[in-house]
Amino acid sequence: MTCTQCGHQQAQGKFCGKCGAVLQTTETASTTAAVTQTATTQAAPIQTAAVESPYVNKAKETSKGFVEYIKKYIKSPASVLHTSATEFKNGLILLILTTVILALSLASLVHSFVSTLFEGLNEFSGFFGAAETGISSPSFTSFLFPGILYLAIPVALITGLLFAAQKVFSTGRPIQQIVAYYGTLLFPTVFLSLISLVLGFLNANTYSIVALAVAIIFALVITPVYLTATLLNKNSMRTDGYYGTAIFTIVAFLVLGVYANYLVDSAFGGVMDQINELRDFGGLF
């Protein structure tokens, strides 16, 4: 037997004859090593499970960065035009968020209006003894998802026109910078959209419509014109900044007018078809 403390060897005994340390037999040492290895093996999965996914870490970093972005620009959105910081990711997030909130407010108003209309037609049909039609008002989601698409298209068109205006009338800026500028300047639109949404939930539909209309005007008219005028006045190479802004405004109105005409003809056509179907089946006229 060998003492693990001083290395003294002896034939038997529980204690070292030289230093007095407790002696371990070969069997005891092997058992201790096995127990230690087992404990380490069992603890390893726990340690591995505690490691966070890189996607989770990325999401946390993005969220933290967006919160800091809001704190920085919420009081002075126009300051983004005078900084060299790259805010493409945050600007894109705000663009998407603005579109979704606008769609929520619009869908809430349209759903409320259509539901009231369908209820009135059903009551009117029953008053005259017409047969049950079995037609119910469309669901909220049937307005929400198309609304997101219908609002995302003009936002994308305006972004493209802003980029084109910089290419034609100025030295040109990358699309990432245009998105950062445009997205950051949409803070007033976000506020007005939230106000419209809250008013809609409170059944103050008239005020909700006004707030929503002003929010859309901010998003598609005031903000793009302001951004174009500011950028062209800072660095207009091929034409005067005033004329460049005027041309952009005219082209933007034409593009949005064509799109609005298409939207009226197609988006609300389905609702009118259902109303006509309800009228025909109910035998109201």
Residues 41 and 161 in one domain: no
Domain that holds residue 116: 60-282
Total number of domains constituting the chain: 2
Q: Which one, of 211, 156, 206, 160, lies nearest residue 189 by Cα?
A: 211
Rounded Cα–Cα distance for residues 200 and 66 (Å): 28
Residues 1 and 25 in one domain: yes
Residues 38 and 132 in one domain: no
Residues 98 and 16 in one domain: no
51 to each of 44, 46, 54, 72, 165, how far by Cα in Å?
A: 11, 9, 9, 32, 48
What is the pTM (predicted TM-score) of this model? 0.71
Residues 235 and 265 in one domain: yes
Summarize the confidence of residues 121-141 as an average pLDDT.
59
According to the model, what pLDDT value does residue 170 have? 84
Rounded Cα–Cα distance for residues 176 and 98 (Å): 18
Instruction: State what percent of residues in the chain have pLDDT above 70.
Output: 71
Residue whose pair of structure tokens reads 């026109």 in the numeric block? 161
According to the model, what pLDDT value does residue 51 have? 62
Summarize the confidence of residues 53-58 as an average pLDDT.
82
According to the model, what pLDDT value does residue 276 have? 61
Residues 175 and 254 in one domain: yes
Residues 66 and 204 in one domain: yes
Summarize the confidence of residues 9-36 as an average pLDDT.
63
Residues 224 and 258 in one domain: yes
109 to each of 104, 113, 154, 178, how far by Cα in Å?
A: 9, 6, 20, 31
Give the pair of three-digit tokens for residue 223: 């903000």
Rounded Cα–Cα distance for residues 172 and 159 (Å): 14
Summarize the confidence of residues 53-71 as an average pLDDT.
87
Which range (25-29, 97-101, 260-264) has the least confidence? 25-29
Residues 32 and 126 in one domain: no
CA angle, 85 then 89 then 92, to 5°: 115
Residues 100 and 223 in one domain: yes
Residue 282 · residue 130 · CB < 8 Å? yes
Residues 5 and 100 in one domain: no
Residues 172 and 276 in one domain: yes
260 to each of 15, 85, 246, 271, how far by Cα in Å?
A: 96, 35, 21, 17
Sign of CA dihedral 252, 163, 178, 155: positive
